[in-house]
Amino acid sequence: MNTEKKWTQTEVVALYNKPIMELLYEAATVHRSHHNPNKVQVSTLISIKTGGCPEDCAYCPQAARYHTDVKAERLMSVEQVKAQALAAKANGSSRICMGAAWRNVKDGPEFDQVLEMVRTLNRLDMEVCCTLGMLTENQAQRLSEAGLYAYNHNLDTSAAYYEEIISTRSYDDRLKTIENVRKTNITVCSGGIIGMGESIANRAAMLITLASLVPQPESVPINALVPVAGTPLETMETVSIWEMVRMVATARILLPQTQVRLSAGRTNMSREGQALCFFAGANSIFAGDKLLTTPNPAVNEDMDMFEALGLIPQQPFEKKSQPETVIPEAVQYHDQRERPQWSRPDHRIERNLAKQQQEK
């Protein structure tokens, strides 16, 4: 039974348009009642099968029909994926998300290989996520049996605006895949993109759809469109930081227990802008220099930002749905060796000294 508030589009648009200080205060209050505001979950996205996608998503450079710099590649090997996952874990990531440029999963050798990837990464004590396109109920169950922790399947936008962006699969197709995932013990990751020409009402409608799912998604990525030459949306202007802050804050209020992920578009945001998003309720990011094929801040930049803001990477499989008492940083780790290397105060000093020596 869904006990969350039933929002109307008018209410959500009014919420989104509140004076920014009021909106931030309300969102931060909701955030602190359900989450530790100093913890951020860090994910790494690996493109295990790049390019050659038969779909026509207007924002995506991986679509075979568009003339972009993205070239079709073969499915990566299990060993290649494991090596990248180990590097991501060393840099503080608690989750690996494997993305394949497929319209839907097809049973056969390639899907068997993905299942082996899931089993292999599971043994690394990391949360394992996949985004592979549409899934049948049986395929979702097989992923669950392999140990998949989360499945990402974004709605992208509202049902009313969807056909302006995609024609090769329906909105109901997307909801059906989420329904198939929910029949297993896999958690759901589903969000959308802003800056594709949609209205604020469209943004509100998408959030209402996500908030109306029972249960609500455990993770909701909020992406800012990164216009790519050769795609139909190549001339779109990037959204302002205020639009991202408002979207994150509104998502936090509608989805109080969900992890709201600050996703694509972070390269266009200042550190101060990202800090506002964290204050508004974002508590997850993608780390690494690429999100599938679009740019992302370098790992060392995120290290510096976390240190400056006093943020702590969330541990794998850490429960997120219950309020946490914020305790002083000094007692959060009984042993400093338990703490991710780049979040240790002494490591910051060492790195700064190394920079000074290089400058000399």
* Residue 28 and residue 168 in one domain: yes
* Residue 210 and residue 359 in one domain: no
Q: What is the DSSP letter of 9?
A: H
Residue 3: inside a domain, yes or no? no
Residue 212: inside a domain, yes or no? yes
Query: Catalytic residue at 277?
Result: no
Q: What is the DSSP letter of 71?
A: -
Out of 57, 95, 130, 277, the active site residue is 57
* Residue 14 and residue 74 in one domain: yes
Query: Catalytic residue at 97?
Result: yes
Residue 107: inside a domain, yes or no? yes
Non-local (6+) Cβ contacts of 260 within 8 A are: 220, 222, 248, 251, 252, 281, 282, 283, 284
Q: What is the mean pLDDT of the chain?
A: 85
Work out the end-to-end distance of the chain between its first and last CA atoms, rounded to an integer number of angstroms.
Answer: 63
* Residue 345 and residue 197 in one domain: no
Cα–Cα distance for residue pair 209/188, rounded to 1 Å: 14
Q: What is the DSSP letter of 163?
A: G
* Residue 191 and residue 219 in one domain: yes
Cα–Cα distance for residue pair 275/286, rounded to 1 Å: 15
Q: Phi and psi at residue 123, in whole multiples of 5°?
A: -70, -5
> CATH number, domain at 48?
3.20.20.70
* Residue 340 and residue 257 in one domain: no
Non-local (6+) Cβ contacts of 126 within 8 A are: 85, 89, 93, 94, 95, 96, 316
* Residue 38 and residue 177 in one domain: yes
The model's pLDDT over 20-75, given as tens digits with 9 standing for 90+, comes to 999 999 999 999 999 999 999 999 989 898 877 888 888 888 777 777 777 778 89
Out of 189, 203, 252, 266, the active site residue is 189
Tell me the C-alpha to C-alpha distance, in Å, between residue 6 and each of 68, 190, 213, 254, 353: 42, 19, 11, 9, 54
Structural domain boundaries, residue 69: 9-326
**Positions of the chain with pLDDT under 70:** 1-4, 288-298, 319-360
Out of 95, 97, 130, 169, the active site residue is 97
Out of 53, 130, 142, 266, the active site residue is 53
Q: For residue 278, what is the enclosing H or E element?
A: helix 271-280
Cα–Cα distance for residue pair 192/31, rounded to 1 Å: 20
* Residue 187 and residue 241 in one domain: yes
Out of 60, 169, 174, 266, the active site residue is 60
Query: Catalytic residue at 129?
Result: yes
What pLDDT was estimated at residue 333? 34
What pLDDT was estimated at residue 357? 53
Here the tokens at position 32 are 């602190």
Non-local (6+) Cβ contacts of 83 within 8 A are: none
* Residue 84 and residue 139 in one domain: yes
* Residue 287 and residue 350 in one domain: no
- The alpha-helical segments, DSSP class H, found in 64-170 are 78-90, 109-122, 137-146
Q: What is the DSSP letter of 104?
A: B
Here the tokens at position 95 are 């989750």
Q: Which residues of the chain form beta strands (DSSP E)?
A: 39-49, 95-100, 127-131, 150-152, 187-189, 192-194, 219-224, 259-262, 282-287, 290-291, 294-295, 312-313
Residue 227: inside a domain, yes or no? yes
What pLDDT was estimated at residue 223? 93
Residue 180: inside a domain, yes or no? yes
Q: What does DSSP say about strands 282-287 and 290-291: parallel, antiparallel, or unpaired? A: unpaired
Residue 2: inside a domain, yes or no? no
Residue that is written with structure tokens 């943020």 in the block: 311
Query: Catalytic residue at 130?
Result: no
Cα–Cα distance for residue pair 74/27, rounded to 1 Å: 43
Residue 1: inside a domain, yes or no? no
Query: Catalytic residue at 57?
Result: yes
Residue 89: inside a domain, yes or no? yes
State the helix-helix crossing angle for 241-254 and 200-212, rounded to 10 degrees.
30
- Give SS3 for 284: strand
For the chain, how many structural domains are there in total?
2
* Residue 31 and residue 77 in one domain: yes
* Cis peptide leading into residue 215 (ω within 30°): yes
* Residue 301 and residue 236 in one domain: yes
Q: Are 272 and 250 in contact (CB under 8 A)?
A: no
The model's pLDDT over 225-251, given as tens digits with 9 standing for 90+, comes to 988 888 888 889 999 999 999 999 999
Out of 142, 261, 266, 339, the active site residue is 261
Q: Are 310 and 349 in contact (CB under 8 A)?
A: no
The β-bridge partners of 80 are: none
